[in-house]
């Protein structure tokens, strides 16, 4: 009954942007071990203000996320093996505070246009490898159109955790070709200056699962990172604009070896 009343009120006040919770976080609840590398990130601009996003442990020493997630922040709390969004005391979950001194942004990162939007967080020495965490690999080649990929997250749209999923979600998407991406985003030039990104669309329904920094995975290889286009994908059923990890793989590998 309450839900019906809420829907009626939404219709009445639709101009105010009222939305039903089901329009967010519409994936399938993921098994915790299926993406054990996924981490929840609390990125603090100041102590009183934080943003929420997602990352992936790609080695015992580094988290891969979007540069936009950590740009301009003082420190990040990395929630390792997080599953339930609002339960920091859940079994096997551990939290590590990392200062901005341990952030690495991709060269020529452009936060205004979400270009080269790749970031790394170096884990502190107190973090030790966990036997229950498997690390995804970096790609050797870019994905081709029509490939099916999976993304994981809680649906933390617009940096807010309201209407997010209680537990980690997953959702399959299909990689689109350049022409389809250009049609969906006509204001973006898909020339060589915009290399390093591709787009994908949920196979069924909208993609309200990926967070800023969420990985896009095929066979335990992380091919993409969620960047711009997150709100458009959920609210307007547009394709996701995804950072192409293969475009930055050599740079990432070089950082891992430092």
3-state SS, residue 116: coil
Domains of the chain, residue spans: 36-135+250-256, 136-246
- Contact between 211 and 54 (Cβ < 8 Å): yes
User: Which residue shows structure tokens 């095929």?
Assistant: 218
Residue 122: pLDDT over 90? yes
In CATH, the number for domain 36-135+250-256 is: 2.40.10.10
Q: What is the predicted pLDDT for the residue at 159?
A: 64
pLDDT at 5 over 70: no
Tell me the per-residue pLDDT of 155-191, one tens digit each, with 9 for 90 and over.
987 666 777 889 999 999 999 998 898 898 887 777 6
- Residue 111, pLDDT > 50, answer yes
Distances from the Cα of 37 to the Cα of 9, 10, 96, 126, angstroms? 40, 38, 15, 17
Is the model's pLDDT at 194 over the cut of 90?
no
Q: What is the pTM of this model?
A: 0.88
Per the listing, tokens 């976080």 go with 25
Which of helix, strand or coil describes residue 185?
coil
Statement: residue 92 has pLDDT above 80: yes
Give, as one character, the DSSP assignment of residue 229. B
Task: Locate 102 and state its tokens.
Answer: 């341990």
CATH class of 136-246: mainly beta
User: Do 233 and 36 contact (CB within 8 A), yes or no?
Assistant: no
Strands 49-57 vs 62-65: parallel, antiparallel or unpaired: antiparallel
For position 50, what pLDDT does the model report? 87
Task: DSSP for 121-162, please give it.
Answer: EEPPTT----TT--PPBPPSS---TT-EEEEEE---GGG--T
Other Cβ atoms closer than 10 A to 142? 17
How far, CA to CA in Å, does 120 sit from each of 20, 24, 171, 243? 34, 27, 24, 14
Phi/psi for 16 (5° steps) reads: -90, 5
Averaged pLDDT for residues 186-200: 77
Domains 36-135+250-256 and 136-246 alike in fold: yes
β-pairing verdict for 197-202 and 215-218: unpaired
């Amino acid at each position: 009954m309450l839900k019906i009343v809420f829907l009626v009120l939404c219709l009445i006040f639709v101009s105010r942007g009222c939305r039903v919770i089901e329009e967010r976080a519409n994936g399938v609840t993921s098994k915790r071990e299926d993406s054990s590398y996924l981490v929840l990130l609390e990125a603090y601009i100041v102590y009183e203000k934080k943003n929420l996003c997602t990352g992936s442990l790609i080695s015992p020493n580094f988290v891969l996320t979007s540069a936009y997630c950590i740009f301009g922040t003082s420190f990040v709390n990395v929630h390792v093996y997080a599953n339930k969004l609002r339960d920091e005391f859940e079994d096997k979950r551990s939290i590590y505070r990392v200062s901005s001194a341990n952030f690495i942004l991709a060269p020529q990162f452009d936060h205004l246009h979400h270009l080269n939007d790749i970031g790394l967080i170096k884990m502190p020495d107190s973090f030790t490898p966990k036997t229950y965490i498997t690390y995804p690999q970096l790609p050797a080649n870019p994905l081709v159109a029509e490939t099916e990929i999976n993304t994981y997250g809680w649906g933390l749209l617009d940096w807010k955790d309201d209407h997010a999923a209680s537990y980690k979600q997953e959702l399959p998407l299909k990689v689109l070709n350049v022409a389809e991406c250009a049609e969906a985003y006509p204001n973006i030039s898909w020339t060589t200056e915009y290399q390093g990104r591709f787009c994908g669309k949920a196979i069924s329904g909208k993609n309200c699962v990926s967070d800023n920094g969420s990985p896009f995975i095929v066979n335990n290889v992380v091919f993409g990172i969620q960047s711009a286009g997150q709100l458009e994908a959920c609210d307007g059923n547009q394709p996701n604009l995804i950072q192409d990890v293969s475009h930055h793989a050599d740079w990432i590998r070089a950082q891992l070896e430092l």
